[in-house]
A and B are shown apart, each in its own frame.
Chain A
Amino acid sequence: MFVYADNAATSKVSPAVLDAMLPFLKDTYGNPSSLHTMGQKAAEHLLAARESMARHLNCEPKELYFTSGGSESDNQAIISAAKVGARRNKKHIITTAIEHHAVLHTLAQLEREGYTVTYLPVSSTGLVTAEQVKEAITEETCLVTIMYANNEIGTILPVKEIGAVCKEKGVYFHTDAVQAAGHIHIDVKDQNIDMLSLSAHKFHGPKGVGALYVRSGIPITVLINGGGQEKGKRSGTENMPGIMGMAKAFDDACNNIDANAAKVGALRDKLIAGLSKIPHCALNSDPKLRLPGNVNFCFEGIEGESLLLLLDSKGICASSGSACASGSLDPSHVLLAIGRPHEIAHGSLRLSLCEYNTEEEMDYILQEVPKVVEYLRNMSPMWKDLISGKKNFTL
């Protein structure tokens, strides 16, 4: 059996999305800036795509900028707010310890340029409170950037409350909604969001295309200069097939958001219940206050990369926060931030589901994961020390 359970890394382009993209590769391939009929036809579709996405986010079409994806949107939002801050002598930014590297590395660059950044610690389930944000805001704060939902452990953060605090204090609020968009309800007005990043490939759109919402009135810093597309804020001939695919994918995702969340949430809960039976394991983050498709466990005594490779050999695609799996020396900063010790964080497994997954696939995962965990534990000297009582179990 083949089971794709790595939808938080990327998701498949749905058949309907592919159908929406193909005409813009085959027939209507004109440049929306061209004055001829084919170009103008493309321009009309571009406008329709912007209007459709804006409607689902509850913003104005002119407040939505198409980009190359989540990373670019995060970079542009943060740098824009930082530049506004610098002009007003405000060079302090607030974020959390569990952001994606598109945010963290952009902030690290700003720190090198003289900004100060407060990394709010998170609870054992990956939460920060609006109260924490309120206390961290100073006269110098120019931006609060806090993700909508975490990509590793699936925690959904209290964005609306955080946004309200920022509004009250007059500080810009950006949220990286790459994992949330298309999966949970977003309303930028109701949720007090000034800037928001999203990426098509996380909701069955194509890779390399995303969007940035910026509330009108907030000055945007241009990162890519050129022909003045996207109202001069993001140059480059529009990625028409990509944008058409994203708009279709977002429309489908938002129109079916409750049904998908119910279906995927049920699969998730089944996995969580089944995997919890494995001895000496722990679910990361809250069982309920998490993305519908996110399952993340730590298994004591084993290492995540070998777990992934063995699952891959059984046809199961998953992901891990171990150092080896991430290609670095330290395990996931998110797992460390929620208080998992290094040796436990190395043994993590993320399974991320979507509406195309099935009950049968969950049964297969629940049949294979315990076997693979046991197999690896049997060859682990660390596990031996734990069961012989030489070392104490953490989980």
Chain B
Amino acid sequence: MALYTDTVMDHFLNPRNVGSMEDADGVGEVGNAKCGDIMKMYVKIKDNVIEDVRFETFGCGSAIASSSMATELIKGKTIEEALAVTNKDVVNALGGLPAIKLHCSVLAEEALKTAIKDYYDKNGIEYDHTQFPDCDACEHGCHMV
């Protein structure tokens, strides 16, 4: 069996929404170089809808594929719908990830949430802090799974 599913390979070889965004409304960066993966997500939000999204990733094949898939899952969705996207949704949409790579999908969920949190913070919007990853915890990314 190949290490990755065809969907993972497709998103890795042809990543969707890759790049940076000049006028992003929210930016989230998680992971760290020491662990070997960093994900950065940019969101453009209009009327409570994720109008556009971009990602940049330093990491393995599944990190790049997870980022790409996460952007697809939230593009055009309301903020509430986007916040409801979990790492499991990313894994399922990819047709599965090897157990040792599951943390990549966690990172993708965290990057996305951190970008939305940044949008809230920048615009002075009230939110439930428990809904968002604790940034200190991001440092421990490589000890997950």
Contact = CB atoms under 8 A, between A and B. Distances in A.
Interface string B41-65: 0000000000000001111111110
Given A309-B12, A380-B56, A329 B143 contact: yes
A70 B60 CA distance: 30
Contacts of A327: 100
B135 interface: no
A382 interface: yes
A383 interface: yes
Contact of B37 (A303, A309, A383): A303
B36 A343 contact: yes
Nearest to B55: A379
Query: Chain B interface: which size bin?
Result: 20 to 34
Interface of A is mostly: helix
A73 to B, nearest CB: 29
Interface stretch (B15-23, B70-78, B81-89): B15-23
A175 interface: no
A49 B122 CA distance: 75
A310 B58 CA distance: 14
Interface string B118-143: 00000000000000000000000011
A85 interface: no
Contacts of B117: none
A302 B61 CA distance: 11
Contact of B64 (A306, A341, A346, A383): A306
Interface residues of A, number: 26
A238 interface: no
Contacts, number: 73
B12 A346 contact: no
**Most chain-B Cβ atoms within 10 A of its Cβ — which of A302, A304, A343, A384?**
A343
A242 interface: no
A223 B48 CA distance: 68
A309 B33 CA distance: 20
Interface in A370-395: 379-384
A103 to B, nearest CB: 24
A316 to B, nearest CB: 15
A342 interface: yes
A329 B35 contact: yes
A309 B38 contact: no
A379 B36 contact: no
A104 interface: no
Interface string B1-44: 00000000100110100111000000001000111111110000
A330 to B, nearest CB: 8
A94 B143 CA distance: 31
B57 A379 contact: yes
B57 A343 contact: no
Given A331-B36, A381-B57, A384-B56, 6 more contacts: A309-B61, A322-B60, A342-B34, A379-B56, A380-B56, A382-B33
Interface of A: 301-306, 309-310, 313, 322-325, 327, 329, 331, 341-343, 346, 379-384
Q: Name the 6 nearest CB pairs between A and B, nearest first.
A: A324-B60, A343-B33, A305-B60, A346-B36, A380-B58, A381-B40
